[in-house]
Structure 1
Amino acid sequence: MVSARPAVQQLPAYRPGRNPADLAREIGVERAVKLASNEVAFPPLPAVVEALAATAGETNRYPDNGAVVLTAALAERYGVDPDQVVTGCGAVMLCQQLAQSFNDPGTGIAFAWRSFEMYPLLARVAGARAVQVPLVPGRPGGPADTHDLGAMAAAVDDSTRVVFVCNPNNPTGTAVRRRELERFLDAVPADTLVVLDEAYREFVTDPEVPDGLELMRGRPNVAVLRTFSKAWGLAGLRVGYLVAEDPAVADAVRRTHVPFSVSTLAQAAAVAALASEDEVRRRCAAVTAERERLTAALRERGLDVSDSQANFVWLPVGEEAVGLAAALESRAVITRPFAGEGIRVTVGTPEEDDVFLAALDQARSTATVA
C-alpha cells in the first residue's frame, strides 16, 4: 500500500470561506453575505477587464515563465533591480518556495501565533520545525493580538533559517511599528532570512507602521512579500511577488518556482492593475473608512476590537467563536472563526456590514436569552 509521508498525512485540510450561493440555497434565502476571505467588494478594475479580454486569445500558448513585463513593472515601481523580484502563484506559493529554498529538515521557521494559518503547514511540508511565538496584548488590558518581537528575536537560534513577520497580522489586523521592527531586524542574525509578509500593506493608515520595502534597504537578510489578491482585486487570478534586498535570495526562490504557474491572464491583469493605482488608492480609502465605521459599531456593542490596519477586523470572543460564527451563518453571513480564539470579519460594503451587524445583534440576543 502506498502511503504519504506522515507529516503530510497529519496536515489539516485548508478550509476556504464558504461559497455564499451554496449557503443561500442551503438555508433558503435569496442572498448570503461572505465576509470570510478578505477579498475586496469592488468589481475588477476596468483596465483589468480590458486586459483579460485582449489577452484571452493567447491562452493556447504557455505564459511567459519569467513574467518579464510584470517583473519590470514591479522593479520600476519600487526602485529595485528586476533580479530582486520574484513573481508567483499568490503570496502563499512564494511562502512555500521560501521554505523549500532555505529549510532543510530539522531547521526552524519562526513566526508569531496566531498568524497566517499556512505558516505551520508549510513548515511541516518542508520537514522544518515550526517555532510559534505567542502574541501579546498590543495595548494595556487588550487581547493578545500583536507580535512579540522581543520574544521572536530570542526564539531565533542557529537552526532558524526563516522568520515570517506578518504585518499587518492575519487574522488579528494589528501591526508592529517602525522602531520595534527596526530593533528586531537589527537583532536577527545575518544568516537568518526575515520575510515581512505585507499582504495587507495597502490598507495601512497608521504612519508609524513602516513600509517593509524601506526597511529592507541595506539589509541583505530581509525580503518583502506582497500580493495582488487583496487591494488590487485579483484574488481569482493568483498573483503574488517577493522583493529581496539580496538578489541571491530572489534567485534561490526562483529556482523552486513551478514553471508557468502565473498564467498569461494573471500577468496581464497584474500589469493593468498597477497602471490603475489611483483607482486602487480610492478603493482602499473607501475600505479603510468603512473599517473605522465597522470598528466603532462593534465597540458600541461592547466588543473589545483593536485598531485594524488591514481590510478586516478581529473579534476576540474566545470559546464563543465557533458557535457565534455558526449563528451568523444561519443568518446568511459567512465569517471566519478560529476555534477558541476569535472571529475574523472582512470589511465589506456598508450594506453588507449592516447585514452583518444586524445578524450579530440577533445572534447575541438569542444567546443571551438562551
Structure 2
Amino acid sequence: MGVNETELSFGRVRDCVAAIRPYVPGKPAEEVAREYGIEEVLKLASNENPLGPSPRAVEAIQAGLADLHVYPDGSGFHLKRAISSHFGVHAEQVTLGNGSNDVLELVARAYLEPGVNAVFSQHAFAVYALATQAAGAEAKVVPARPADDPEMPFGADLEAMAAAVDECTRVLFLANPNNPTGTWVEAAELRALLDAVPPHVVVVLDEAYTEYVDDPAFPNGIELLAHYPNLVVTRTFSKIFGLAALRVGFAVSDPAIASLLDRVRHPFNVNALALRAAEAALDDDKFIAESRTVNRAGLVQWQQAAEAKGWSTVPSRANFITVLTPFAAGRVFETLLREGVIVRPLGGMEACGGLSQALRITIGTAEQNARVIEALERVLARLGDEDASA
C-alpha cells in the first residue's frame, strides 16, 4: 500500500520520496532455512564471491579489532593512497563510499534536483532509478536492445542513450558489465558515447564487475578519465574482493568532481575495518586470480548446461548469469526456495521490464552451480507438469 503524504499527521514528506518503492534485498539463507525447514540452503542471489573474502583482508580486520573504540579516518588517507597507487591516479581524484551504492547516490545528491533528468538504460541497476527519484529528478529510461538482437540481447543501446540527452540532462548512468543482465559494451562504442555526450552531463560508468572480465581489450574506465573530464568511474570491494558485508566502494573522477562529491559525503561514511580490509584486499593478486578462474569456469559450466537443456540465457561477462524461463520469475523463485536454493527473480524490479520470466543466478563453485542447475531442471519440469494438468 502506497504512502500518501497528505495523510501523515507528523510531517509532510516530498512527493518524490513518498512514491519510492523501496529496494528489496535478496532473501537471507537463514530465513529460508527457518521457513522451509531446510538445513543446507544455498544462496546464489546477490553476486557474492563464493570463495569468501580475501585472506589478506581477514588478517587486516583481525589486526584492527582492538581499535573499535576509535572513529575511522574520515579522509580515508591510506585507502585513497593505495587506490591511487594501484590505478595510477591522484588521491584527490578518489571518493570513498559505503559501498559503490553510496557513491552513486552522492552523484545524484550533487547533480540532480527537480527540473533536471538522468538518463539510463532499461534493465539497468535499480539504484540509478532510486537515486534519481529521491533527488526529485526525472528518470529518462532508454529502451534496451530487443531480446532478439543478434549482437547483445537486452544490452544498452548507447546511440539511443546519447540521443536521449538534452539540455536538462545532468547525469547519465551506465554499468559495464551491467547488473542485472550481465551484458556489456565494447571500447569503441563506449568512446563513441563519451564523445557524443556534452560536457554539462556527468557520465557515471559503474564498473562493479569489471574485475571479472578476463580480456585486456575490455574498456577500462579509469584509463579514459584523462580524456573525459565529465566521467566518473565507480568500483566496489563487494564483488571479486569478497567484502560485501563491509560495504566499501569508491569513485575516481576529475578532482573538481571529487571535491563536489566530498561536500555531500557523510563524515566517516566508511568504517575503520572496511578501510583496513579494502586496502589489504586491493593487492591480493592470488585471490583475485583464483576468483576470476572459478568464475570463468562457472560461466562455461552454466552455458554448457543451458545449451544441453535448451534454456535461454543472456550473454554475461560478470559473476552471474540471467536465465530466461517459460514461467513467471516469482513462481520459479518460490519453487526453488523449497529446493533450498535462493536466486534473484527479475520480474519485480522496476527497471527490468521485459524480463518478467528471468532469474539472475550468481556463479558459484562447480559444486554449487551443479546443485542449482539440477534444482532448476526439477523445478521447471514440475511447473510444466502443473500447467499441463491444470
TM-score (norm: length of structure 2): 0.91
Measured after TM superposition, the shift of residue 152 of structure 1 is 0.1
Measured after TM superposition, the shift of residue 4 of structure 1 is 2.2
Distance across 2 between alignment mates of 1:66 and 1:96: 18
For residues 200-253 of structure 1, the C-alpha deviation after alignment (integer angstroms, 9 at most, x for no partner) is: 001113454311112222210111000000000100001000001x21011111
Q: Which residue, out of 283, 292, 306, partners 1:298? A: 306
For residues 2-23 of structure 1, the C-alpha deviation after alignment (integer angstroms, 9 at most, x for no partner) is: 2322221221121111111221
Verify the 8 A CA contact 2:299 2:321 in the aligned structure 1.
Answer: yes
CA spacing shift, 1:206–1:304, aligned 2, 3 Å: farther
Question: Secondary structure at the residue paired with 2:275?
Answer: helix
Verify the 8 A CA contact 2:16 2:135 in the aligned structure 1.
Answer: no
For residues 36-91 of structure 1, the C-alpha deviation after alignment (integer angstroms, 9 at most, x for no partner) is: 10000112222111111111111111100000000011011111111111111000
Question: Secondary structure at the residue paired with 1:146?
Answer: coil
Matches within 5 A, 1:190-269: 190-244=199-253, 246-269=254-277
Distance across 2 between alignment mates of 1:107 and 1:318: 39
* 2:10 paired with 1:8: no
- Identify the range of structure 1 (54-63 vs 146-155) with the bigger mean alpha-carbon deviation: 54-63
* Counterpart in the other structure of 1:43: 52
Measured after TM superposition, the shift of residue 319 of structure 1 is 5.4
* Counterpart in the other structure of 1:23: 32
- Identify the range of structure 1 (22-31 vs 60-69) with the bigger mean alpha-carbon deviation: 22-31
* Counterpart in the other structure of 1:361: 377
Measured after TM superposition, the shift of residue 142 of structure 1 is 7.7
Verify the 8 A CA contact 1:142 1:304 in the aligned structure 2.
Answer: no
Measured after TM superposition, the shift of residue 307 of structure 1 is 2.5
Question: Secondary structure at the residue paired with 1:136?
Answer: coil
* Counterpart in the other structure of 1:34: 43
- Identify the range of structure 1 (308-317 vs 260-269) with the bigger mean alpha-carbon deviation: 308-317
Matches within 5 A, 1:1-370: 1=9, 2-137=11-146, 140=149, 144-244=153-253, 246-317=254-325, 320-339=328-347, 340-370=356-386
Verify the 8 A CA contact 2:71 2:272 in the aligned structure 1.
Answer: yes
- Letter matched to residue 173 of structure 2: F
For residues 133-163 of structure 1, the C-alpha deviation after alignment (integer angstroms, 9 at most, x for no partner) is: 1110487458841010000000000111010
Distance across 2 between alignment mates of 1:283 and 1:344: 19
CA spacing shift, 1:208–1:247, aligned 2, 3 Å: same
Verify the 8 A CA contact 1:104 1:126 in the aligned structure 2.
Answer: yes
- Letter matched to residue 323 of structure 1: R
Verify the 8 A CA contact 2:176 2:210 in the aligned structure 1.
Answer: yes
Measured after TM superposition, the shift of residue 283 of structure 1 is 1.6
Distance across 2 between alignment mates of 1:43 and 1:79: 28
Distance across 1 between alignment mates of 2:83 and 2:19: 38
For residues 93-152 of structure 1, the C-alpha deviation after alignment (integer angstroms, 9 at most, x for no partner) is: 101100011112221111111110111111111011111011104874588410100000
- Letter matched to residue 36 of structure 2: I
Verify the 8 A CA contact 1:295 1:307 in the aligned structure 2.
Answer: no
Verify the 8 A CA contact 1:175 1:209 in the aligned structure 2.
Answer: no
CA spacing shift, 1:140–1:163, aligned 2, 3 Å: closer
Distance across 1 between alignment mates of 2:35 and 2:164: 46
Verify the 8 A CA contact 1:35 1:346 in the aligned structure 2.
Answer: yes
Measured after TM superposition, the shift of residue 306 of structure 1 is 2.9
TM-score (norm: length of structure 1): 0.96
- Letter matched to residue 362 of structure 1: R
CA spacing shift, 1:208–1:135, aligned 2, 3 Å: farther
Distance across 2 between alignment mates of 1:21 and 1:119: 29
Distance across 2 between alignment mates of 1:318 and 1:212: 37
Unaligned runs of 5+ residues in structure 1 are: none
- Letter matched to residue 318 of structure 2: A
Q: How many residues align?
A: 369
Distance across 2 between alignment mates of 1:43 and 1:36: 15
- Identify the range of structure 1 (161-170 vs 141-150) with the bigger mean alpha-carbon deviation: 141-150
CA spacing shift, 1:74–1:237, aligned 2, 3 Å: same
Distance across 2 between alignment mates of 1:111 and 1:319: 28
Question: Secondary structure at the residue paired with 1:145?
Answer: coil
Task: Give the alignment's Cα RMSD to 1 decimal.
Answer: 1.6
Measured after TM superposition, the shift of residue 331 of structure 1 is 1.1
Distance across 2 between alignment mates of 1:292 and 1:212: 26
Distance across 1 between alignment mates of 2:305 and 2:146: 22
Verify the 8 A CA contact 1:38 1:311 in the aligned structure 2.
Answer: yes
Unaligned runs of 5+ residues in structure 2 are: 1-8, 348-355
Distance across 1 between alignment mates of 2:326 and 2:68: 47
